Amino acid sequence: MNDSNVKPTNKSAQKWLQRLLESPHALVILFFMSALEATLIPIPLELVLIPFMILERERIWSIASVALAGCLFGAVCGYYIGYTLFDTAGQWFINYLNLQDYYQEFKKTLESDGFIAIFLVGVTPVPFQTAMLAAGATAFSLPLFLLASGLSRGIRYYGLAVLALWLGPYAQEWWQKNASRLGWSIAIISAIALLIFQFS
**Is the pLDDT at 161 greater than 50, yes or no?**
yes
The domains of the chain are located at 45-199
CA distances from 21 to 8, 76, 126, 193 (A): 20, 27, 29, 13
Return the SS3 of 99: coil
Q: What is the DSSP letter of 141?
A: -
CA–CA gap between residue 169 and residue 167 (Å, rounded): 6
**Residue range 5-37, pLDDT digits in tens:** 434 344 555 666 677 667 778 899 899 989 988
Q: From the centroid of its chain, how far is CA 158?
A: 13
57: CB partners within 8 A, 6+ apart: 164, 165, 168
Indicate the pLDDT class of residue 192, thresholds 50, 70 and 90: very low
